[in-house]
């Protein structure tokens, strides 16, 4: 199951990173970054198009390589629990392991309000990809809740409005 997780996580890393670099994909990824504070449901707060874009390459690669259905199901059972802890507004640390796993302590840097500062720590589960591809950020100090979210104060707050926003030519 670990091998399947590595393949899926590698795909998630690259699609997540691309979702920040491509203006079109960013439009669909913005709902995930819109809350001004992190809480456990943020991990699954996604536009449907963004969720499909993020998951498809890794899942397709794992399936084409013959991953057993049980391993795929196991990984997709673990992932939402991990994402809940990764986005939790809970002050916990894993000590040195925080630099290997995408836990809240590291992932908060990715949700900084300043877009340029937030182009770090894309790893969904493993931060090894951030290490390898130069996007790891590990700094001392805490990020305050006022430092999180989108800088666009006019970005919609509601679920349906956020799903419509990428299609609004005025945005």
Whole-angstrom distance, CA of residue 53 vs CA of residue 15:
7
Cα distance between residue 83 and residue 22, in whole Å: 23
Residue pair 125/101 in contact by the 8 Å Cβ criterion: yes
29: pLDDT confidence band, cut at 50, 70 and 90? very high
Average pLDDT over residues 16-39: 95
Query: Which of 17, 12, 28 lies closest to 118, judged by CA?
Result: 17
- The pLDDT score that the predictor gives to residue 163 is 96
**Which of 129-133, 137-141, 156-160 has the least mean pLDDT?**
137-141
Q: What is the pLDDT of residues 97-124, one digit of tens each?
A: 888 898 888 999 999 998 888 999 999 9
Q: Model pTM?
A: 0.91
């Amino acid at each position: 199951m670990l091998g399947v997780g590595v393949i899926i996580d590698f795909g998630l890393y690259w699609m997540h990173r691309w979702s920040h670099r491509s203006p079109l994909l960013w439009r669909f990824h913005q709902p995930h970054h819109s809350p001004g504070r992190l809480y456990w449901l943020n991990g699954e707060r996604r536009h449907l198009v963004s969720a499909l874009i993020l998951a498809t390459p890794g899942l397709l690669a794992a399936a084409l390589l013959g991953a057993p259905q049980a391993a795929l199901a196991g990984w997709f059972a673990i992932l939402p629990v991990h994402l809940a802890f990764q986005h939790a507004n809970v002050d916990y640390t894993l000590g040195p392991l925080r630099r290997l796993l995408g836990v809240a302590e590291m992932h908060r840097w990715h949700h900084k309000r300043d877009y340029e500062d937030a182009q770090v720590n894309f790893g969904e589960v493993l931060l090894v990809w951030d290490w390898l591809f130069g996007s790891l950020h590990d700094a001392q100090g805490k990020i305050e809740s006022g430092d999180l979210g989108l800088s666009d104060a006019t970005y919609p707050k509601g679920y349906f409005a956020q799903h419509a926003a990428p299609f609004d030519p005025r945005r």
